Amino acid sequence: MLEKNTESVETKQPTILSYVNDLPNLLSLSGLACTVLAIYFSITGLYAAAMIGMVWAVAFDWADGLVARKLKGRTPTDAKFGGQLDVLIDIVSYGVTPAILLLSYGKFAPLFLIGAFIMVAAAAIRLSYFSTYGLAGGTKYTGLALDNNSLILVSVFLLQWVVSHDIFIIILYTSGVGLAILNVSEIKTPKLSGNPRNVYLLGAYTLGITVIYGLQL
């Protein structure tokens, strides 16, 4: 009888796709969609559209965290699933996508494989480290947070219109590798996503980048 009662109170494991109904996860997946578009447009050489995809991926990434913190009724399991989803999307958005951008702009020359590997490896190492040890409290991160990679690179890419192609390739390569080094460094950088003022700044930045690159399409 006791065994029967125990079985009746056991919680049924949710289905895989049940988590898609969670609004923060939907926002995360929207960011992933922007990332896939950024990868596609990088490969096809439509870099202005790729920049728009990259900056909107960051906007959705910030949005899912804000909504998750304010949404009531989410269980610890919901939060854990969302955290895992974020990590997997981050490696694609902030590691793989910039690396493909670099490879594409470098015409997929073998030399650019080195920079691309450094960028993806740094993102993977950083995410693995903080998945293991968690984020420290306070207002500072150790190393440069990965979302900054995309925010900085979309601005760096504006230089392609004011310098020669050969010089810009060097700038892009150096920027990508430099950001990767900062990602795994021990420097202290401010947490941007948790500050309401920075959310408005990101919104303005996203719209500005969208307009600037949209005019080039």
Q: What is the pLDDT of residues 66-116, one digit of tens each?
A: 888 888 878 889 889 999 999 999 999 999 999 999 999 999 999 999 999
- Residue in the block written with tokens 């060097």: 170
Give the burial class of 50: count Cβ atoms within 10 A of its Cβ; 0-12 exposed, 13-18 middle, 19 or more buried.
buried
Bridge partners of residue 189, in order along the sequence: 141
- Residues 168, 10: Cα–Cα separation, whole Å: 60
Query: Alpha helices of the chain — where are they, by DSSP H?
Result: 2-9, 23-44, 47-70, 76-91, 97-105, 111-133, 147-156, 165-183, 196-214
pTM: 0.90
Whether residue 129 has pLDDT greater than 70: yes
Q: Residue 134 — left, alpha, or beta (φ > 0 → left; ψ -120 to 50 → alpha)?
A: left
Measured CA to CA in angstroms, residue 185 lies from 27, 80, 108, 145, 174 at distances of 29, 27, 28, 10, 16
Whether residue 136 has pLDDT greater than 70: no
Q: ∠ CA 123-127-132 to the nearest 5 degrees?
A: 150
Write out the two tokens for 113.
């494989």
Give the burial class of 13: count Cβ atoms within 10 A of its Cβ; 0-12 exposed, 13-18 middle, 19 or more buried.
exposed
Query: CA 118: distance to chain centroid?
Result: 16
Name the band, by pLDDT with cuts 50, 70 and 90, for residue 135: confident
- Residues 200, 207: Cα–Cα separation, whole Å: 11
Give residue 164's pLDDT.
Answer: 96
Please name the amino acid found at residue 36.
V
CATH hierarchy code of domain 22-214: 1.20.120.1760
- Residues 136, 54: Cα–Cα separation, whole Å: 27
Provide mean pLDDT across the span 9-16.
74
Per the CB < 8 A criterion, the answer to whether 182 and 147 are in contact is no
